[in-house]
Amino acid sequence: MKNIFKQAVIVLLIAAMAVMSVGCYGSFTLTKKVYNWNGSMGDKWTKELVFLVCVVVPVYEIAGTIDVLILNSIEFWTGQNPMNASAVTGDGTSVAFNQKTKEMTISYAGKSFVIANENGRATVKQQDGTVIAYVETGADGSLMLKDASGAVLTSYTQAEFDALLASR
C-alpha cells in the first residue's frame, strides 16, 4: 500500500512539473508579427486606430493566447517555434499573415476578413476582396472610419483622438 501511494505521489509530481514547465517565456512570434504588421499601416494615427480595432476585435489577445498556450510551449520542448505565418485556436479562430502582401487574414466567429494597407490607408475587406471599411486620415490629423460606400461610421479630430489615447 505504501509503495502504491509513493508511486502515485511521484506520478502526480511529474505531471505537475510537466504542466508548470509548459508556461515558459518564449519568443512570442505571432504577437510580434501582429505588432510588426500593425506598424506597417502608415502614419501614427492610422497605426493607433488599427491598434484599437485589433484590441476590440481581439486580434492581440488571440495572438498572445496562441503564443502563450501553444507556440511558446512547442518552442520550449522542441527548440523551434512552429509559427509559419498562421495559427489556429481550439475554437477555430485563426490569424494568418501574408508576408509578401503584408495582409492579415482573421477568421473569427465563422467570418473571415482581411486587413491590408492600401494606398496609405488601412482597409478591411471580405475574403473575396470586397471592401467593408477603411480608415482615412485627414490633412488636419483627423481620422475617419468609413464603410465601403464612403459613409463615415465614426470620426475623431486630432484633439479627440489625443484625448482618447490619453484616457487609456
Q: Are 28 and 67 in contact (CB under 8 A)?
A: yes
Has residue 115 got a pLDDT over 70? Answer: yes
Q: How confident is the model at residue 18 (pLDDT cuts 50, 70, 90)?
A: very low
Q: How confident is the model at residue 131 (pLDDT cuts 50, 70, 90)?
A: confident
Number of structural domains in the chain: 1
Would you say the pTM of this structure is higher than 0.85? Answer: no
Has residue 52 got a pLDDT over 80? Answer: yes
The single-letter DSSP state of residue 150 is: S
**CA–centroid distance for 61 within its chain:** 6
Would you state the cell numbers that stand for residue 133, as one nine-digit string?
Answer: 471599411
Amino acid 72: pLDDT: 75
Mean pLDDT of 18-44: 74
∠ at Cα 105 (100, 107), nearest 5°?
160
Does residue 112 sit within a domain? yes
What are the residue ranges of helices labelled H in 22-151?
29-39, 44-56, 59-66, 72-78
Does residue 62 sit within a domain? yes
Amino acid 87: pLDDT: 55
- Within 10 Å of residue 3's Cβ, how many Cβ atoms? 7
Amino acid 49: pLDDT: 87
Domain membership of residue 132 as a residue range: 25-166
Q: Which residues pair with 70 in a beta bridge?
A: none
Has residue 85 got a pLDDT over 50? Answer: no
> Which region among 62-76, 132-146, 150-164 has the lowest average model confidence (pLDDT)?
62-76
Has residue 4 got a pLDDT over 70? Answer: no
Amino acid 3: pLDDT: 62
Rounded CA gap, 68 and 2, in Å? 39
Amino acid 88: pLDDT: 57
Would you state the cell numbers that stand for residue 115, as one nine-digit string?
Answer: 486587413
Mean pLDDT of 140-149: 84
Rounded mean pLDDT of the chain?
74
Q: What is the edge-to-edge ordering of all strands in the sheet holding 152-156?
A: 86-88, 94-98, 103-108, 111-118, 121-126, 131-137, 143-147, 152-156
Rounded CA gap, 90 and 3, in Å? 39
